[in-house]
Amino acid sequence: MSEMFKISLPDGSIREMPEGSTPADVAAAIGPGLAKAALAAKIDGELVDLTRPFTGDAALALVTSRDEAEALDLARHDFAHVLAEAVQALFPGTQITFGPSTDDGFYYDFAPPVIDGKARPFTDEDLPAIEAEMRRIIGADKPLRREVWSREQLISRWKQQGESFKAEWAAELPGDEPLTVYWSGDDWLDMCRGPHLPSTGKLDPAAFKLTRVSGAYWRGDQKNAMLSRIYGTGWLNKKQLAEHLTRLEEAAKRDHRKLGNEMDLFHLQHEAHGSVFWHPKGYVIYRALEDYMRRAISKADCKEVKTPQVMDARQWEQSGHWGKYRENMFVIPDEVPNTEDDGPIISDDAQWMALKPMNCPAHVLIFKQGIKSYRDLPLRIVENGCCHRNEPHGALHGLMRVRQFTQDDGHIFCREDQIVGEVQAFCEMADRVYKDFGFTYAIKLALRPDNRIGTDEQWDKAEAELRDAVVRAGLATEEYGWEELPGEGAFYAPKLEWHLTDAIGRTWQVGTIQSDRMLPERLDAHYIGEDGEKHRPVMLHRAIFGSYERFIGILIEHFAGKLPVWLAPVQAVVATIVSDADGYAADVAAKLKAAGVRVETDLRNEKINYKVREHSLKKVPHLLVVGKREAEEGTVAVRTLGAEHQKVMSLDEAIALLTNEALAPDLKA
């Protein structure tokens, strides 16, 4: 007689199931509707296949499409496997590597087949045929079956199939890790931890789309073979896919790289990978943000500083960055290298320096200049600091991910008893800033990760300090999306994060503040306390924009290029209908400029409709049209971007209107 296991369900009931039973059996015992809807299961909190047998008494929760996060991840994982099976069916000789789910879909990396001695990379033209084959596999409703193999068995299989990449990967997996494969039917398998849906038929064939093909290096190393990466987006149903494609279409219209080119704001090129060439109009936006932030930090009683770009490697060793962040740093020798035909030669005696990837250690060095008393705290310093990080070429993305960037990077050195008040003040400052730009946001507390330093008591204290500050600021509410994120803090401290929501619903993690007791210790920073003894300050790392480059990219996409008037590079253009109005147009522009408005004139011998269309594409907020009649009457016809009709008003009224709109929100009464 087989042993009976007690299976606890979420509603508190208990089912007794015989040994060898699976979650699928429990679903069937409850009813045919649930058996059909079940996609996977959680056994004692672990997500597993429906066909995984119970090994003893357990708590069971069945996963259906209502559990959207888990269901989406499962579906996207399965879409990736179906993609790999389809590609190998259509293109024999293709080697598979691996393909995970992503935030909105999936991808898979392939080593293309070799034809006539040459690899044939996949292209976007291959995608329709691959999609059709994927739908055939989904329609076949092939069962997805898990097996555990030995390392030798798995490596042998991959070598027999000519799968050199998979064989290499299998050979390097930890020796004590069970190696699992999943069969699709009886004719295709892949190495995978799982879990998976019960069969390919659980996927909606109308809920995915392959989007593009790109190059990718094996294991992300440019020294390795180049692979073809096929991307797709996958959802639970056709409606979700349609909504996502609409969002993508809208996002493409708002792409900051496209708009940056159309508006003549900036460009990037290979002579300076990951660094921005700001054009005059783009730099106007940059400077307007810089001026705004300088006013904000001045109101918060912060002092602006400037620190060196290049610092000795020994400083980075002492701070800990050399050991943990070295691969992301640009390192240079402190000597003039000898040059030969093979290139520069560095002697063994060269001292190493590095371009700073962040400002924190330099700010500690400023704090350490002179003796600090408890009366000097808090010390708040901010730097619009240029930093460099050696990001991989393939990871660079317009203004959103660059190698050279400028942070609104601040540090507050304070006593233990000042932490909550300082964090509360920063929360209130961040709230004002984001509202000035028209953003809503969610504020989240990232809590201790598993891999961390410090005691539980220290973490309890640090997390409570940040939590209390948000509560005091009145932001720990549903309105502000308050949420705590277990395990997502830095290894040395918890942090608060600000997640902005843009006009099409995307979120961007921008601002942060975190408490740091480690760096002052490593760099031997101290102050003299009221007791006359040395004490370590707490160092609060804070930023609001994050980086100017990325924040500008977010603003461009949020506003679809139609920036608020105070940020617009050109706030108004005075355009003539006839050449007889050229003199009047120049006078109008001069008066607007004297009033502080960024203005240009368009006196070209072109039709006014052509001028209107051109300046609309450049997202100029106001077009002031003048002709012979306006010149005689001292008026202007104001066409506002996005408005259906123009308004005729006196020049004085127009100047008052534009002067008010050109003011930054923090300067308005």
**Known binding-site positions:** 360, 411, 541
Q: Is 360 a catalytic residue?
A: yes
Task: Tell me the C-alpha distance between 493 and 516, whole Å.
Answer: 6
Q: Is 49 a catalytic residue?
A: no
Structure tokens at 95: 């080697």
**Cis amide leading into 178 (omega within 30):** no
Structure tokens at 547: 């980086």
Closest CA to 546 of 555, 537, 559: 555
List the helix and strand counts (H, then E) for the chain: 20, 36
Closest CA to 509 of 597, 439, 435, 432: 439
**Known binding-site positions for Zn(2+):** 360, 411, 541
How would you write 471-513 as a 3-class SS string? HHCCCCCHHHCCEEECCCCCCCCCEEEEEEECCCCCEEEEEEE
Q: Where are the alpha helices (DSSP H) in 143-279?
A: 151-160, 164-172, 238-254, 256-262
The active-site residue, picked from 49, 126, 190, 409, is: 409
Structure tokens at 365: 């060095």
Amino acid at 275: S
Q: Which helix or strand (DSSP H or E) is residue 338 part of?
A: strand 338-340
The active-site residue, picked from 411, 517, 611, 639, is: 411
Q: Is 411 a catalytic residue?
A: yes
Region of 559 on the Ramachandran plot (φ > 0 left; ψ -120 to 50 alpha; else beta): alpha
DSSP calls for 36-99: HH--EEEETTEEE-TTPPP-SSEEEEEE-TTSHHHHHHHHHHHHHHHHHHHHHHHSTTPEE---
Structure tokens at 174: 């930890």
Q: Cβ distance 380 to 539 under 8 Å?
A: no
The active-site residue, picked from 202, 229, 444, 541, is: 541
Q: Residue 147, exposed/middle/buried by CB under 10 A (0-12, 13-18, 19+)?
A: exposed
CA end-to-end distance (rounded Å), the chain: 84
The active-site residue, picked from 495, 517, 542, 639, is: 495
Task: Tell me the C-alpha distance between 172 and 165, whole Å.
Answer: 11
Q: Cβ distance 200 to 82 under 8 Å?
A: yes
The active-site residue, picked from 192, 302, 360, 414, is: 360
The active-site residue, picked from 356, 389, 517, 611, is: 389
93 strand-pairing partners: none
The active-site residue, picked from 88, 95, 315, 407, is: 407
Task: Tell me the C-alpha distance between 47 and 334, whole Å.
Answer: 53
Known catalytic residues are 360, 389, 407, 409, 411, 495, 541
